[in-house]
Chains A and B, each alone.
Chain A
Amino acid sequence: MADYKLIGKNYVTPDLVAKVTGKARYAEDYRAEGMLFVKLLLSPRPHARVTRIDASAALSMPGVHAILTADDMPAPPPPPAPPPAPAPAAPRPQGEAGAPGAAAGAAAPAAAAAAAAPAAAQPPAPPRPRVPAEVALTKEPVYEGEPILAVAADSEDIAAAAIERIVVEYEPLPFVIDPLDSLRPGGPDGRLEGNVFVGANVETLKWTAADIARIEAGTFPADAAASETLVFGDVEKGFAEADLVIERDHYQQTTSHQPLESRTAMAYWQNGKCYLHGSTQSVARTVAAAAGWIGIKPEELVLISEYTGGGFGSKIPGAQSMAIPALLSRKLNGRPVMMRISREEETYIGRTRPGYQGWLKMGFKKDGRLTAIDMFIVEAAGPYRRQGDHATSANNTSLMYQVPNMRFRGVSVATNTPPGTSQRAPGGLQASVMVEPMVDEAARKLGLDRIAIRKINSPEGQAQFGLAPVNAPPGRPRNKVTSCFVKECLDKGAELFNWAERSKRSGQRRGNKVTGVAVATGSYTAGSIGVDGLSVLKPDGKLYIHQGIGNLGTHSVIDTARVIAEQVDMPWEKCVVVWGNTGNHVAWSSVQAGSQTTYAHSRANYAAGQALKRNLQELAALELGGAPDDYDVGGERVFRRGNPGRAIPFAKAAELAIKRGGKFDGHEVPKELNGMTKASAAALAGLGLMGVARDNLPRDGSTYSFQAAFIEVEVDVETGVYRIVDYLAVVDVGTVMHPNSLGGQIHGGGIQGFGHVRSQNLVYDRHYGAGLSNRMYNNKPPTLLDVPVEQPMRWAAVELPDPTNPIGAKGIGEPAIGAGGGALICALADAVGDGILRRTPVHPEQILMSLAAGKPAYETLTAFI
């Protein structure tokens, strides 16, 4: 491994002191003279048409300045243009219909299947209705809490009082809470256009009375009609070859993202530009989306988001609601408008991970080798779009378990619940929680070690994966990963966890306490390509690195900047990272989602660092004679090899670059740069020696990271209460860039996986379509009391570099959550028995009741309870 000065070392990120002293400004921390406040009027109904709005009494109140309704909203923008570079692993930003892009390889087939599969079975039909795009304010609310209108006033009190005086009349429309209700013959449709999302369209799909009878008998109807089907190999043949076949119904809940900072936004207009202080995961990639929601050109928007209080997928390009203060401000001649979003509002408009109702069947040979997997998942997509977590789960499973025969069938049902979107490892978390306990069950039935059964099926090297639509033309190559070392993770973890001894504690009872020990794996996309790096070495001797990456807490905005510094041997103290404000001219970036950033921007910034170095070498050759390759950089100088006295200090080189102009100071830049970077480079031209480049490095395959998690739990069989005693995670993330930050990501992800398994849950009253868990105490994220405490959580990395990244690094954010969630549910099953816990979250009473009954003693399939 290369000997780096910065990469792989712990350091203090330059934003940390501001955070710990309270100086860091998040969206709600900005103030502007004359700032007004907004309150929203939210739909009290899960689905309705607004027939009348009378705001006259409100508008006549002193202190009330403006109202904004759906009529004021610009037409929904077309879906964001695809990134200029081929980026198969791009995750699906909000608003990008259909494709579960996060699922790289199989994402595209999944989307294609969604469109192709039903067409194959039906005669030519009239064009299907497309799903109307979500707009910040609506006249047809499709979930309780959807914003109808907004009022700006001198204070929040006045705005709230004004909202109270507004009369809104609604015509109720049918609604769906539990997806299976919508699939009943004559069942309600979640949208006027239909009940099932297929690609970018809405269709109508109803199951048969026989299917429904099976549901009522408590069994998932695994032969019911699916609206999308993907296959690999021959699943019937695979099951015929199996020595052991296990099938299980399965339920996973819908969960809210719950970032601690809600999607608050403040906006004002000045000199024809909209200044938007928003809470968003990405910066460069939020501009076009937010401008579209406001109805302006991207160049008319200045986005400021220096600190973001979490997103977890719910703010990939910000939020539609950011348009509300911007448009109210425009109505008021640019007067600043602050829209604070409360926790309850955040639960409504803040997005969800789709829940699953489904069924899984797996076939194994005696040695544990998988012969076939058959998966059927109904996803609760929310009201606006096919989410695609379900197809991503299949894709991920086909990677983690290299099965020769697999089928996925799915239905994406429109539900009148908060809109779905990507939540950390969309589909990946659910895949681990669904699949891992059944692999353990097979291991126990076959008398195999649980690590051995994983290793015999797990991927290695440039493993292939993915499924294809049923009628896909043959010969299409499967997707493959750029690197995979999950077997190494399992081996290293087995050693560090002392698996051979620890696993003997399985099921041991001391008093009321039963021990469960388990291992589980997770994987997810970990990088995209084609983005830009931008840096300027200025006459003050400092290197300014302009990052379009959002500062959402992963530190990747800072960590990847160090790659440029490393290329030119620049001391970190002399580097200034510029981020969080598009007015400061930042580079085109990947979205801060899909665990893309570390990989994408270590590539792009490597390229920019090389460009910077090349400019220094060429400048030195022109100034001092010889050829560029005669020169090297180091010690803040560009110097002649073999004659280090012949050198130009960096500060002087910056001055000389400005004198020479052209490519040296950014007046000429590579043509292939993305548009935003070109504009930023133009604004920075002439300020110093520029290093700017687009990532054109080769890549063959999709980049995925992997994790193996080892866990010990203690279940109190008298109370059903359980606690995690010990946890170890071992990751394959390629080269480690920043150990402290990586550890935080690994365990933060793992603990969020625990939260999915043990407590988070969105509960709805299905009679009224009303949310019953809109606060944190009843939709409970993990707390400090839910994690192992006496024994600190541990992590390790196998540190095998990815060959397609010049640093060798890959992302981590997402693989960690699946492994953590999978490990916890596997350990609970290890303690209380196989096939009992088929529903998350696993509440203590579920364990108690099931132990008493000797079988699952709870609603296995009902959603949102």
Chain B
Amino acid sequence: MPEGPITSVPGGQPGVSRRNFIKGVIAAGATVSASAYLFRANIAGQDSSLPGSVERLITLNVNGQERRVDVLKHETLAMTLRYKLGLTGTKLGCDRAECGACTVLVDDVPHYSCSVLTHTVRGRKIVSIEGLAAPDGTLHPVQQAVVDGQGFQCAFCMPGFVMTAVGYLKTNPNPTRAEMAHGLSGNLCRCADYNKILDVMMNAAEGMRRA
């Protein structure tokens, strides 16, 4: 794909580009818009839940499992995860690639799932916050560092931050505090618990290096 990834993670692989996302939306008529009434031309005619239209059963690899799921053409990954697969840990904070609360890993690269069309990630490896801990409940080192430091406040942004950190640390396991801040800066915390977030994420990095 010619365009770069949506998230600007150093070392990240090209993924779904903005242009492709927009093209997909145009092709489908509209995205699942949470905006009141601005993006819905011809939706009724294209809505595959209406009689006469076709839905697509596709297979997604989510959290290590193959999941068969019925996906609309214009459906975003965030909506599929939240409303089709029951994975509500992925949060929607802005609906439009501004806040990062919906960040998931696609082939280990953090993506804003509100801005990824689900049909573009067939065959890719998707990991959401629910897929981080081990099956026996053992937390991922990044999760454990959050717990140990009583990180975050309201925590609505937390799943996105954790996923971004996990992805970022794959590309830079030994970041300085400034590098970590830059790596996480695509995620917003409105409680502005940034200082503590940096503390726990630096602890996480150290914990992972030691492990």
Contacts and interface: CB of A to CB of B under 8 A. Distances in A.
Interface in A740-759: 740-741, 743-745, 747-752, 755
Contact of B32 (A61, A157, A738): A157
Contacts of B146: 16, 20
Interface string A254-267: 00001111100000
B93 A20 contact: no
A11 B150 CA distance: 8
Given A23-B89, A784-B194, A12 B98 contact: no
A777 B185 CA distance: 13
B154 interface: yes
Contacts of A755: 192
Interface in A158-190: 158, 160-161, 163-164
B198 A789 contact: yes
Nearest to B146: A20
Interface stretch (A342-350, A621-629, A638-646): A342-350
Given A741-B150, A785-B182, A775 B36 contact: no
Interface string A776-794: 1100011111010110110
Contacts of A770: none
A5 to B, nearest CB: 18
Contact of B37 (A16, A163, A793): A163
Given A21-B89, A29-B88, A161-B43, A748 B156 contact: no
B119 interface: no
Interface string B171-195: 0000001100110110111111111
Contact of A22 (B90, B96, B152, B187): B90
Contact of B96 (A13, A24, A160, A775): A775
B153 A747 contact: no
A742 to B, nearest CB: 10
Given A744-B191, A751-B194, A63 B50 contact: yes
A155 interface: yes
Contacts of B182: 784-785
The winner among B157, B182, B194 for most chain A CB atoms within 10 A is: B194
Given A154-B49, A260-B157, A13 B99 contact: no
B130 A343 contact: no
Nearest to B156: A309
A39 interface: yes
B162 to A, nearest CB: 6
A61 B44 contact: yes
B132 interface: yes
B49 A158 contact: yes
B136 to A, nearest CB: 13
Contacts of A258: 190
Interface in A1-52: 10-13, 16-17, 19-26, 28-29, 31, 39-42
Contact of B129 (A22, A157, A262): A22
B185 A784 contact: yes
Contact of A748 (B36, B47, B153, B199): B153
B130 A160 contact: no
Contact of B91 (A42, A158, A309, A751): A309
B150 A310 contact: no
A553 B153 contact: yes
B43 A342 contact: no
Contacts of A24: 89, 155
A22 B190 contact: no
B143 interface: yes
A21 B130 contact: yes
Interface residues of B, number: 70
Contact of B150 (A25, A61, A261, A740): A740
A26 B156 contact: yes
Contacts of B49: 63, 154-155, 157-158
Interface string B142-160: 0100111110111111110
A554 interface: yes
Nearest to B143: A20
- SS of A interface (majority): loop
Given A156-B34, A776-B98, A785 B185 contact: yes
A310 B191 CA distance: 7
A632 B101 CA distance: 50
A748 B190 CA distance: 8
A157 B55 CA distance: 15
Contacts of B187: 784
B184 to A, nearest CB: 6
A782 B152 CA distance: 15
A328 interface: no
A630 B96 CA distance: 65
The winner among A10, A262, A307, A752 for most chain B CB atoms within 10 A is: A262
A344 B44 CA distance: 22
Given A39-B36, A40-B36, A158-B50, A260 B90 contact: no
A552 interface: yes
B128 interface: yes
Interface string B63-107: 000000000000000000010001111111111101101000000
A36 to B, nearest CB: 12
B192 A740 contact: no
B17 interface: no
Contacts of A637: none
A579 interface: no
B133 A21 contact: yes
A364 interface: no
A738 B196 CA distance: 14
Given A39-B37, A743-B195, A789-B198, 16 more contacts: A16-B147, A20-B147, A26-B156, A157-B43, A309-B93, A341-B34, A342-B34, A344-B36, A555-B150, A555-B153, A744-B150, A752-B192, A782-B194, A785-B182, A789-B177, A790-B178
Interface of A: 10-13, 16-17, 19-26, 28-29, 31, 39-42, 61-63, 145, 154-158, 160-161, 163-164, 258-262, 307-310, 312, 340-345, 552-555, 738, 740-741, 743-745, 747-752, 755, 775-777, 781-785, 787, 789-790, 792-793
11 contacts: A13-B150, A158-B43, A259-B156, A261-B93, A309-B155, A310-B191, A343-B99, A743-B196, A744-B196, A747-B195, A787-B195
Interface of B: 30, 32-38, 40, 43-44, 47, 49-51, 82, 86-96, 98-99, 101, 128-130, 132-133, 139, 143, 146-150, 152-159, 162, 177-178, 181-182, 184-185, 187-199
